[in-house]
Amino acid sequence: MVQDLEELKLKQDVTLNVRATVADYMMYWHKLCLEVSILVSSGIVGVSTFGVDKSQLSLALKIMLIAVFVVAAGAASWLILKASRLIQELRGILVRVDKHDRLFEVGAYLADESIYPSAWAKFDAVGMDVIPKWSMALLVATTAVVSSVLILHS
């Protein structure tokens, strides 16, 4: 009996540590997605606004500058996609830990309801959540707007 309680306590401690560690990693990767998109978008705007005299650029140089912006946005998007996949893997770990702790089971802790909504038990292993989507949208929008302004500016 005492050994069973010690084993249960050990399992509970492990799941709490796993949950805390995985949640910290998820926050880190979400933050990285936002920071990468803001940094690259700011760089694109900064270079095009303050770093280049647009009136002195030929069309060929404008196109080359736009190509550099597209490459920078593409590289940042690649990093965000990698981070998004990792976030989904981490979310899957959290769901498994929470299933182990019976947080989705009705009546396990509260009468006639579960701690978590049942929808939280489902996760898309290849999907992308809101933060990476918005991070990539920021990159695409910034690149498109700045490129348009560069081409249209005489």
Residue 54 vs residues 46, 141, 151: alpha-carbon distances, Å: 13, 20, 9
What confidence score (pLDDT) does residue 70 get? 96
User: What mean pLDDT value characterizes the chain?
Assistant: 87
What confidence score (pLDDT) does residue 101 get? 86
Over 70: is that where the pLDDT of 135 sits? yes
Q: Are 82 and 29 in contact (CB under 8 A)?
A: no
Q: What are phi and psi of 110, to 5 degrees?
A: -120, 145
Q: Are 140 and 74 in contact (CB under 8 A)?
A: no
Q: Are 101 and 94 in contact (CB under 8 A)?
A: no
Over 80: is that where the pLDDT of 109 sits? yes
